[in-house]
Amino acid sequence: MKKNTLVTWLAVAAIPVIAILLIVFGSRETDVEETLAPGGGMISLESSFWDFGSISMAQGIVTHEFKVENNTGAPAVISRISTSCMCTTASLLIGDRSFGPYGMPGHGYSRALNQTLHPGESAILSIAFDPAAHGPAGVGPVERTVFLETDSGEAVTVEFKAMVKP
């Protein structure tokens, strides 16, 4: 009986330690603007942040484009694009082909993309933000994120902010 009690106490004591290890090593936040592509290549962004400044809800949807590049010798498969809020959508333009819009998972537009960006090829990630999407409660500072994932499971993030006025 004492052996079972000791094992139970050790198991219970290990839970917080495991939780801390998962938090520390399982949620790597980074400011890196690149992600590994299959074969060790990288997808990079010319920039990963945009400030729309002060915008009016009455102004309607505002957009911005980010250049995405594969500067390696290996193809990179862009598997998914998603956004942090339903007020934001994103599309990918590769050559003359357009994919999207993609939005917040669970709110439509979150289907798989699975498009290859060949070595030396670039694309345009076009984001659109609707400042009126949240109605009067959406006035004030806003920060949103767009996630561009590769088939390696890594993600490049693009962020923007705005000051929404009525």
The per-residue pLDDT for 109 is 56
* Cβ neighbours of residue 9 closer than 8 Å, sequence gap 6 or more: none
Residue 86 burial (CB count, 10 A): 15
Structural domain includes residue 4: no
Report the distance separating Cα 67 and Cα 8, nearest Å. Answer: 54
Structural domain includes residue 10: no
Alpha helices per DSSP H over the chain: 2-26
The per-residue pLDDT for 71 is 83
CB 114 within 8 A of CB 79: yes
Residue 38, domain CATH: 2.60.40.10
Report the distance separating Cα 138 and Cα 136, nearest Å. Answer: 5
Structural domain includes residue 86: yes
Q: Which two tokens stand for residue 127?
A: 């984001």
Q: What is the mean pLDDT of residues 71-79?
A: 88
Name the pLDDT band for 33 (thresholds 50, 70, 90).
very low
Q: Report the half-sphere exposure of 36 (CA within 13 A, side-chain side).
A: 6
Structural domain includes residue 160: yes
Judged against a pLDDT cut of 70, whether residue 5 lies above it is answered with no
Tell me the residue range of the domain where 87 lies. 34-165
Name the pLDDT band for 40 (thresholds 50, 70, 90).
very low
pLDDT in tens, 84-121: 999 999 999 999 999 999 999 887 656 788 999 999 99
Report the distance separating Cα 75 and Cα 50, nearest Å. Answer: 27
Residue 34 burial (CB count, 10 A): 17
Structural domain includes residue 12: no
The per-residue pLDDT for 73 is 86
Structural domain includes residue 127: yes
pLDDT in tens, 124-147: 999 999 999 999 899 999 999 999
The per-residue pLDDT for 4 is 55
Question: Domain total for the chain?
Answer: 1
Q: What is the mean pLDDT of residues 14-40?
A: 41
Left, alpha or beta for 161 (phi > 0: left; psi -120 to 50: alpha)?
beta
* Cβ neighbours of residue 15 closer than 8 Å, sequence gap 6 or more: none
Report the distance separating Cα 55 and Cα 87, nearest Å. Answer: 14
CA 15 to chain centre: 30
Q: What is the mean pLDDT of residues 1-13?
A: 50
Q: What is the mean pLDDT of residues 79-83?
A: 94
